[in-house]
Structures are given as C-alpha cells and as structure tokens.
Amino acid sequence: MPRTLALVALGTAALLAGCQIAPPALRIAEAPGCLPDAQVNALMQARQAAKPFPAPVGLSEADAACTRAKVAARLANTEGMRVGYKAGLTNPAVQQRFKASQPVWGVLHNDMLLADGAQVSAAFGARPLYEADLLVRVRSADVNKARTPAEVLANIDQIIPFIELPDLVVDAPPKLDGNGVTAINVGARLGVQGQPLAVPTDAALQQALLEQLAAMNVVLRDAHGNTLGSGKGSDVLDHPLNAVTWLAQALAREGQALRPGELVSLGSFSALLPPRPGLKVTASYDGVPGLQPVSVIFK
C-alpha cells in the first residue's frame, strides 16, 4: 500500500569547535518510502527559513534512515563536515513522549555548536527547545567494541558539558514517532558546549567517575537559581555511557563506526523545554567534581 510522506524541516546550525575529520558518506540504500530528492531540497530550503513542515507519518525504519542520510549529505554542504553523532530518545520519558521503543540517532556537523555563554535567539528554530545533555569525545576506535560503561570510558578522552538546542521543526510535534524523529536528523540544530573534563587514566579514578556519572543530578537553573528542569545520570539508559554502546551498535548495522576525535551527544537528562527571550539557562552536573556548568542566554 502506498505510504504518505510529509516533509520535515531542520533548523539552522551554528559553530562547533571539534574534530577536523572527513568521514565517509553514509551508506543507506534507497528505501521505498524515502523522501525524494526534490522534497529533501525543499525541506532544506525551509530549514533555512526555520518554518515548520507537516510531521512525517507512516515511515518505516528504512525510510527514516534513508531520509536522514539525504539530509545529512546536504548538511555537509551547508553546515560543514560531520564531526559526530547525536543519540536521541535515550531517556525513557522522552521515548514515551514520541511513542518509541528504542533510541534513535542523528548527525552533528561542524557548524552546529556554540561556545559556553552564547547568546541565541529564542526563536532559533520552527519548534525551538532546550535540554540538559553531555558530549563525549572518542579517543580510540575500540569504543565500537565496548559493551559496558567502563569499556566506553576507557576509549573516550573528554566529557563535555552540553546544553542541546534541538528543533522539532514540524507543525504538529505530537504526530512524531521514533522514525519521524530519525527522518529529521533527531532535530539537531544548535548546542552550547562547556569546558571539557579530561577522562583520568588511573583505574581507580575511572571507577569513581563511572559511579559519579550514574548518580549525578543534572539541573537546569535560571539566572536567579530557580530550577527549570532536572534528572539523574541513570535516567539515560541506566548509565549515560550506555548511549555510546547503543550508538556504536546502531552505526555498525548501517556500515558505520565511531572514529577517534568524533563527538557523541548522549541524550536528554531533563525535559525538553521552550526558550523565551531574556532567559539565561545554566546546566550543572552536581556530583561530578570537575564537570563545570555551561550556560546559554536567549534573546
């Protein structure tokens, strides 16, 4: 039976300091319901205008992956080279919101992140949101073989405070399911990264850090210290580094792999919240010594 596809728009991205790696193109076979090239081109034009599109409905997993690959290929022309990945829907509460049973992933490009303290328009996208997150940086390709948080930690060299600024981009976000979220590149648009925390090489210190990451309280606060949102480290797949093991396995199924220097966004530690002009948001990682707060100001 024919499947009706609707377009989805992404937002404009800005400024990621990161690795200078030119990764291979995503190898996704053309799926029957994959968005046609002409529609993807129209989607990208709308992305520049930050205007909402109808939510994509009825996509299979293959349809969504194929569409994401086309979007990522075009982002490479407008937002710079691919520098990493975004694991999305890694928090069960967020999965429930999007009627998904597993995480999803998207691609991060060179011009998608801002520095700590950045000032960003509260209307940065069609459906702008913010959330507490973390980035990690891959040290070794052996991370692709990791099956535990300890094995992941042994193969990354930085943990980076991160406020993600996603854009759901559709006119009716409640219509999005997991495959629809995949098709819009998991809403990747902007993000603000803080000061990296170097991963210790000492085994005892690594074990302590593993425990701290699982137990940490991640809190979003405004300029007056009022709590805007919060969550625990274990809210992301029981341990935030499990997002990396999931992503590595998902990439392997599509012929891809994480490479040294690439960044991985781990997912939501808080609810997705709408920005407003004049709001300063700071994410703190209480319980992880050395992991500094990161802030964004909406104008």
Domains, the chain, in order of start with CATH, read 37-298 (3.90.850.10)
Residue 41 is predicted with a pLDDT of 85
DSSP letter assigned to residue 22: -
Q: How far apart are the first and last CA of the chain?
A: 47
The percent of residues above 90 in pLDDT, for the chain, comes to 75
Residue 14 is predicted with a pLDDT of 32
Q: What span, in angstroms and rounded, lies between the C-alpha atoms of 258 and 265?
A: 12
Cβ atoms within 10 Å of 255's Cβ, excluding its own: 10
Of residues 37 and 119, more confidence is placed in: 119
Residue 29 is predicted with a pLDDT of 52
Q: Please state whether the predicted TM-score (pTM) of the whole model is above 0.75.
A: yes
Tokens of 164: 């993600």
E-assigned strand segments in the chain: 82-88, 104-109, 114-115, 118-120, 131-138, 156-165, 190-193, 197-198, 217-221, 227-232, 263-265, 280-286, 294-298
Residue 42 pLDDT class (50, 70, 90 cuts):
confident
pLDDT of 264-284, one tens digit each? 999 999 999 999 999 999 999
Tokens of 81: 């080279």
